[in-house]
Amino acid sequence: MALDITNKSFLPSDETKWVDVPNYDGVRFKIRPAYTMDYNLAQANYEGWLQRQIAQTTDGTDCDVRVHPHDKRKLPLQAEILALHVVQDWEGVVAQGETIEFTPDNCTELLTNNPDIYGYIKAQAEEFAIALADKAYKTRKKQ
């Protein structure tokens, strides 16, 4: 099968699904797949920033296991990428008995403060992307 370079990405950015978060009864997130164009651009920007930070703070050795100031910014930045480009809504998120409205800022804060939920949502978005790409590939192969 030839690859037509005029074809758009396999991953439609408007596809969403709800995922329940294990161990948090009634909490669920509406997500888009990872690896959409916006997500990929945000990841590329993050990687560029990270490489600049590493270049400024390392001493040139191959293995540097010290904690650098930029390390403390990794999770909040990754959480912001998910909040802006993957998570679209949520249900069941409360604080002090009050329902918390979904906003990208609230989502970034929640994901930053709950690395287990961050990891779960990221993995679900990646699995969603893989499933959509596989479905698109199989559909195109039949044509």
State the pLDDT at residue 39.
Answer: 76
Averaged over 119-142, what is the pLDDT? 85
* H/E element, 108: helix 104-113
State the pLDDT at residue 140.
Answer: 66
Which residues, including other chains, have CB under 8 Å from residue 113's CB and lie 6 or more apart? none
Percentage of the chain beyond pLDDT 70 is 69
Give CA–CA dist 137/84, Å, rounded: 27
Residue with tokens 């961050």: 118
Who wins on pLDDT, 90 or 40?
90
- Is residue 87 helix, strand or coil? strand
State the pLDDT at residue 49.
Answer: 64
- Torsion of Cα atoms, 53 then 83 then 109 then 112, to 10°: -50
115-142 and 74-85 are packed helices; what angle lies between their axes, rounded to 10 degrees? 50
State the pLDDT at residue 135.
Answer: 81
Averaged over 105-126, what is the pLDDT? 95
State the pLDDT at residue 75.
Answer: 76
Tokens in use for 34?
């990872």
3, 46, 93, 139, 141 from 83: Cα distances, Å: 32, 14, 14, 30, 34
Query: Minimum mean pLDDT among 11-20, 34-43, 59-68, 95-104: which range?
Result: 59-68
Provide the pLDDT confidence category of residue 82 given band limits of 50, 70 and 90: very high
Do the beta carbons of residue 81 and residue 39 sit within 8 Å?
A: yes
Who wins on pLDDT, 6 or 15?
15
Q: Which of 79, 78, 54 is nearest to 68 (CA)?
A: 54
**What is the average pLDDT score of the chain?**
80
Q: Which of 72, 74, 69, 75 is nearest to 56 (CA)?
A: 69
State the pLDDT at residue 14.
Answer: 80
State the pLDDT at residue 117.
Answer: 96
Averaged over 76-83, what is the pLDDT? 89
